Structure formats: C-alpha cells, structure tokens
Structure 1
Amino acid sequence: MAYKTFDIRGNEIVQHDLQDKGDWCEKGASFEEVFVRRYPHLELIINPEKQSNIYAPDLSYRESGLYADLKTQNTPFFLSGAKYGIDPQYAVTFNEKDFLRYRENYPGIDIYFWVDWQAIRFVGTTEISVQPMVGVWRLKYADMLKAVASASLHVYTQRVGDQKGNAKGSFVLDLKGGAFTRIA
C-alpha cells in the first residue's frame, strides 16, 4: 500500500529504507546518548556490555547495574485503530524478537518508550491524523509480560523473507492501557 506521512508543518516525511536495520541501529545508538543526557534523574548510563555485545540491552541503571532498553518512536502506527482497535495517538510497537530475547535473557529489564511524534498525518487509502506528542513511558518487566499476553501481533508483510535480521512482527501496545507509567 502506498502512503505518505507529513509533519506538523505539512511537509512530507521521506523515510530512509525501513528495512535497513543497520541504519536504524546506528540512529538508535545516538538516541540512547541523547536520552541519557536529557533524563539524568533516571540514573541511566549506556550499558558497558554494548562494547562487546551488540545485542546487549541499551542501558543500565548507574547504581544497581540492572538493565533497561530504549525504544524511540517517532511515527505513530496510524493504522492501529482500524487493524487492532488502539487509538494511533497512543499506539506503540514492540518487536516480538526483542520481547523473546528479554524474556529469555533479561528478566527484570525495564523498557523505556521515548515518543516524539514527528509524523502527525498519514495519507493512504484513508487519511489519519494524531496530535503532536512527546513523552517517556516506562514498561516494567512484569507489566511487559502482561501487556504482550493480551496484545495483537502485527506481522510485517514486507519482511516475510527478510535476511537482514529485522523483526518479522511487533506487538501493538497501548500507552494508555495501564501497563505503562508515564515518567516524562
């Protein structure tokens, strides 16, 4: 399905290849540095294990060393209302692949969703808009398990034969669903 997204000024947003995992990982690393500096009260640091393990969680707590991970989301899942009954204003996606890795290797991890809707209008077969929104929500491990248990899994049709390591699907979660705590 062909579609376009637009920012608050009405300018079309042209995304880099959404399937280029390497590019998105690089951007993610720079977001982590900014996040740690912007929210010092969270007492988070870049996880030192990332130096030797690219799959290690992004962050750790300064004092305890417990893990946290960052999910930066700039584009709403505009079709979440029609497909899954979740208002796109508050819908975030959470890769199934990450969930499985956390459950297997990192019980107790906190996940931070840093939302800054850069895209606020979607034009495809229908037109959908959201309000600009910026904030940080924390999802504790136990709440993550509960949220995923009742969430829909969105399968990325363009990744069915993916060989680049991209997630094949993501859980669609509702920031207002009770599992999340807004912290900023």
Structure 2
Amino acid sequence: MRARSLAPNLCAILVHLHRWIVNVSDRPSWPTCRDHRWSLPLIASALVHRDYTANGPTIVKVSQDALVVSNPGGLPEGVTTSNLLITPPRPRNPALADAFKRAGVVERTGRGINRAFASQLALGKPVPDYSRSTFSSVVARVRSGPADKELAGFVAHQQEQTVLTFVKRHGSITRREASELCQIDSQ
C-alpha cells in the first residue's frame, strides 16, 4: 500500500527536478545544451534501476561543467558499462518503471539510457559517462561544453537514412515510428 502512494509523489518530484535542471541550465552562466531530452530519462533510469537495498540517496548534482546522477549499489546483474546500450532492460523496480510510464514521465520503459545517449549525440555533445561506476555505486556524468557540429550533422544524416530506408521498405512512416527509430522524442 505504501508503494502505491509513493509512486505519484516520486513522479512529481522527478518532473519538478527536471524543470529545475532546465531552468538552471538556461542561465547563461551554465554552459550546457539547451535541449534537455536526456536529463529526465537519465534520472528516471537511475531511480528505476537503483538498488534500494543499498543504503544512501540517489544524488543529482548540477555544476558548471556537468550533471552527475549517482546511486548506491552497482549496476544490475549482467549489466556492465560495456553493454549498457545493448543489454535487455532489467529494472530492479518494475512497478516503479510502470508507474513512471503511466504517469507520462517516460515514454517507454527500458529506453532511458539509450535516449540519453542518442539525444546527446544528435546535439554533437559527449555521451553520458559511466566510467566512474563501481561494484557499489552507479555514476552517470553528462558533461557540458560546446557542441561538435560536424558530429551532430553526421547523426542527423544517419537518422534521415534510417527513416528513408524504413519508408522504402514499408511505403510510409508515422511520426511515432520515426521517433522510435531515431530514438528521439516525438513532440
């Protein structure tokens, strides 16, 4: 019963935190990207996949050079920093994942980290860095800084090619299909 009453509050907190990050990073003194598609899925992923048997809080730090999300407990069994993007989703907290999806906090379960990586690449920005993760903690760091416009152009071209290939095979494509293929928000 307690878990049910906690989920809506946690969703509200997550959305509030995302809005705060957007407001802080829109200040000229905080040199990060103006596109924040990556922050909400990254934080939601941290909450859904964290080990709640490990003591300690989930921490979100915003600084001049990065946003860092950290959790106590390591990555789920079978997940490493080398296979984060290709391993099937293994939420430690499937009820929380479902609550986030139903509340509209996340679009699809199991795609948060992939979306964070894809969004950063599409902007020509560094992908989230998990290299500071250990057996006892997960640390995701998203650095700010100037965009690599050449990389952003390359990613955009790859997305166009992916959509055109789909249209060639199927005759048409919906906005939702295109956004899923390119791993971007459909809004």
Q: Same fold (TM over 0.5)?
A: no
TM-score, scaled relative to structure 2:
0.28
Q: Which structure has the highest helix share of the two?
A: 2
The higher radius of gyration belongs to 2
TM-score, scaled relative to structure 1:
0.29
Q: Which structure has the highest strand share of the two?
A: 1
